[in-house]
Amino acid sequence: MVSEMLKNSIVYNLFASIGNWFSKQFNQSCLINRFLTEKATAELPQKGLFSQIFASIVELFKKLFSTLKLNKLLDGSIFKATYLWCFMAVVFAPILPTMVVLALALVGFASLAIRMFCDDLKLRHFPLNKFVLIYALIYFISTFTSVNVKGSLLGGILTTAYILFYFVVINSVETKKQLNFLTFCFVCFGIFIAMYGFYQYLNPSKFSGSWVDKEMFSDIGFRVYSTLGNPNVLGEYLLLIIPFVVAFFFNTKGFLKKGFFFIVGCMLMLCLILTYSRGCWLGILFAAVIFLILLDRRFIILILIGLAIMPFILPETIINRFMSIGNMSDSSTSYRFFIYMGTLNMLKDYWICGVGPGSAAFNMVYPSYAYDSITAPHSHNLFLQVMCDSGICGEIAFLALIYRAYKTCFISLKKAAEENKIFIIGAISALSGFFLQSMFDYTFYNYRVMLMFWVVLALAMLYSNIDKLRED
């Protein structure tokens, strides 16, 4: 009786009408539908309120640019060369300070926006885009729900900017030649990083050797870190580029070209070995297995033979380092174990929203939950840290993003041409090795490595959707 009276009331009908109108606008919005479907923009309705607001904002800036004659002023300007700014940020990230890389990334954003307002550039649509946007939005919001907003602000903005740099990469590359050139320079710049690592190894007295546990590994003299400040970080960078070098090796013809990529691959592998990063060693081994299986399943036999003879051919130093994995006598292993325990204990109370991005927020809460009074700047696990930073919503969004990326790559593998398939395999292998290392370290702790992860993800999507690029 009461429910019938409510349904017939003016107030009920008013709110119902408002709700129906909003629902209609929501469902008809092109902007919202991009998060709900995988249809191209042109196939989606353009009448929704949200899509109209977005279109109005873009149109407003177009008129502003036209009125101020900025479109003519910027015509032919270097600021419209989005690919150039993208190239500089991607290739030189390992040697430039974090804030300089951020500046290049921001100029890339600005360049992309200028082309949208001046040249009517249409942003490229890939299935992964919506997942990246959702994750970036959640992470940005988590900055302001942090237990220490001031301490999280810089880290939150940097991380959000580097996540969104994915869109600069996928929209700045317009031709297949540009894609291959960017990938080539991205991986081959690793030669200089490796050479500096070799210089450190040959001149250890000039550099810090604090990364070595002398009590456990007295036979390890020095762990190289090159320009990245930490052996594990250097290893993570090499994990992302080595599979692409292997892809170039298989994709090129001619003795000299194959010889070049073989030498480059050997240099990068030697540098990775000299990091003495066990997680990265496992990561590159896992990446190699994935690469060979996807290339040809018959390589499984070769993999098994290789794993069987590996203990007999590897140097004793490396074998001892490998065998220490899981040994609680090793300070690094026990340190991580205690941090994992403390982090899981903390997440029992902060699983909904997390504590917020950055070391300041983490260190504000974690000491109260620390296991055996062991503190740390982060959880030493990417997946745990994502939940610490952004809560359960961020964790789900990140895992969904990874799933969608792999799904896109594997779908593309079935129909891609051979010269493109090898680079998709390289991207899958690079990401797989990186994620394995992420089980033992917070691989996004270094912002430059974080940027390069999103670059590799963008390259994976470009190679998976290479038909959308123009011919050379």
Number of H helices, E strands in the chain: 21, 0
* 76, part of any domain: no
| Residue-level pLDDT at 31 | 46
User: What pLDDT shows up at residue 300?
Assistant: 79
Residues 176-199: tens digit of each pLDDT: 999 999 999 999 999 999 999 999
Which residues constitute the domain of residue 209? 129-468
Asked if residue 180 is part of any domain, the answer here is yes
Q: Is residue 333 assigned to a domain?
A: yes
pLDDT digits (tens, 9 = 90+) for 53-103: 666 766 676 666 666 666 665 666 677 788 999 999 999 999 999 999 999
Long-range contacts of 467-471 (CB under 8 A, 24+ apart): 468/124, 469/173, 469/174, 469/175, 469/176, 469/178, 469/179, 470/174, 470/175, 470/176, 471/175, 471/176
- 327 found inside a domain: yes
Residue 186 lies in a domain: yes
**364 belongs to a structural domain:** yes
- Does residue 65 lie within any of the structural domains? no
Look up residue 470 and give its DSSP letter: B
Residues 71 and 85: their CA atoms lie apart, in Å, by: 19
Mind listing the pLDDT tens digit for each residue in 144-173? 999 999 999 999 999 999 999 999 999 999
Residue with tokens 């496992």: 282
Whether 364 and 398 have beta carbons less than 8 Å apart is answered as no
Indicate whether 367 belongs to any domain.
yes
pLDDT tens across the length of the chain (472 residues): 545 555 566 655 666 666 665 556 555 555 445 444 444 444 444 455 556 666 676 667 666 666 666 666 566 667 778 899 999 999 999 999 999 999 999 999 988 888 887 777 788 889 899 999 999 999 999 999 999 999 999 999 999 999 999 999 999 999 999 999 999 999 999 999 999 999 999 988 888 766 666 555 555 668 899 999 899 999 999 999 999 999 999 999 888 999 999 999 999 999 999 998 888 999 999 999 999 999 888 777 877 777 777 766 666 666 666 555 655 556 677 788 889 999 999 999 999 999 999 999 999 999 998 887 788 889 999 999 999 999 999 999 999 999 999 999 999 998 888 888 999 999 999 999 999 999 999 999 999 999 999 999 999 999 999 988 888 6
- The pLDDT score that the predictor gives to residue 74 is 61
Residue 59, token pair as written in the block: 């149109």
C-alpha triplet 16, 19, 22: angle, nearest 5°: 150
End-to-end Cα spacing for the chain:
72
Tokens of 146: 């942090």
Q: Name the domain count of the chain.
A: 1
